[in-house]
Amino acid sequence: MPRAGVDYPGTWQAFESWFPDDEACRQFLAGVRWPDGFRCPRCASDDAWVTGRGLWMCRACGRQTSVTAGTIFHRSRLPLRSWFAAMWFVCAQKNGVSALGLQRVLGFGSYETAWAWMHKLRRAMVRPDRDLLGGDDVTVEMDSTFIGGRTQGRSGTRYANKTEVVVAVERVRPRGFGRVRLHQIDSAHRRDELFEFLRTRVAHGTILVTDGETAYPAITRRLQIRHEPVNLVTTRRVAHEALPAVHQVASLLKRWLAGTMHDGQADTYLEYYLDEFTFRFNRRTSRSRGLLWFRLVQQAVATDPHPLDVLQHKM
């Protein structure tokens, strides 16, 4: 387990002492990216030296590598220390921060810069190789909720201008919740997307508790997941009592979007916000904001660059 004061700064005062300039940030980032020492991405040699421009020059093949190359910091024109400070600010705020808030605190001249940085950081908040939920005899609740659409849609249907989000939450015995996974789905291809969500996020052997929706039995049989549906009609139970974990997480998500983002998220970029909520919820018991910052740095160097044009045309 990383230790405050040894592996990362534990307070803002320590942060300022650790990172007085960009060179200190580059050295720290190199240690995070290559904890066992530098390895050339071309030939895997560990024999290298640092040039005057701060690049790692491989003695074996001559390739020059930047510590930020291939990460979310790739080709950034702003100081690396500003990135570190932005990440600290994002992690230090319990409920997060909006792009406008980040622009104000860091003094960016452009809102677009703050918006891009926030979405890059949100992309880094979820590891692609993260562990699946559940496992043998572990119970996971799953249901969907609808985000947005405070006004009725033109078609007159209840969910005409809302976005469907599927929610899966681990139950912890004897009470309490574990980790969560969220995903925005296209209701027009609902069955296929539910299958893909379960395949990539829930482990075999899991006990999956859902409502009585007919799509689940066939999906869970294919994925070797034990399905325990709750028929709300025959049991005469209300949804928030039958599936308390899912409904509490859905309620927290909506409150977070309303309170921190002021319901300003566009459907096109909703997945980014779901990533941030997942990062925060799954680390809700952490008492060290410095450790959250360190985890985000670790994931930032393992996340591919996301240029602005890619972010803006993600969906």
Residue 307 belongs to some domain of the structure: yes
Tokens of 155: 């078609």
Residues 243 and 295 in one domain: no
What is the share, in percent, of the chain residues with pLDDT greater than 70? 95
Residue 150: per-residue pLDDT:
55
- Cis? peptide before 305, omega within 30° of 0: no
Residues 238 and 179 in one domain: yes
Residue 2 belongs to some domain of the structure: no
Residues 163 and 238 in one domain: yes
Domain residues for the domain of 197 are 139-269
Q: Which residue has the higher pLDDT, 20 or 312?
A: 20
Q: What is the mean pLDDT of the chain?
A: 90
Strands 207-211 and 177-184: unpaired
Residue 259: per-residue pLDDT:
83
Residues in the chain: 315
Distances from the Cα of 310 to the Cαs of 70, 119, 247, 306, 315, in angstroms? 15, 11, 33, 6, 9
Residue 248 belongs to some domain of the structure: yes
Amino acid identity, position 268: T
Residue 231 belongs to some domain of the structure: yes
Task: Evaluate if residue 315 carries a pLDDT over 50.
Answer: no
Phi, psi of 283 (to 5 degrees): -120, 25
Residue 3 belongs to some domain of the structure: no
Residues 155 and 229 in one domain: yes
Residue 274: per-residue pLDDT:
95
Predicted confidence band of residue 249 (pLDDT cuts 50, 70, 90)? very high
Residues 25 and 86 in one domain: yes
Residues 124 and 143 in one domain: no
Q: Count up the domains in the chain and report the number.
A: 2
Spatial distance between the Cα atoms of 24 and 137, rounded to a whole number of angstroms: 47
Residue 235: per-residue pLDDT:
72
Task: Evaluate if residue 70 carries a pLDDT over 70.
Answer: yes
Residue 72's contacts (CB-CB under 8 Å, 6 or more residues apart) are 120, 121, 123, 124, 300, 303, 304, 305, 306
CATH number where 203 lies: 3.30.420.10
Residues 168 and 243 in one domain: yes
Residues 293 and 197 in one domain: no
DSSP 70-105: TSTTTT--S-HHHHHHHHHHHHHSTT---HHHHHHH
Residues 119 and 37 in one domain: yes
What are 114-130's pLDDT values in tens digits?
999 999 999 999 887 88
Residue 244 belongs to some domain of the structure: yes
Mean of pLDDT values over 13-25: 97
Task: Evaluate if residue 205 carries a pLDDT over 90.
Answer: yes
What are 270-295's pLDDT values in tens digits?
999 999 999 999 999 888 999 999 99
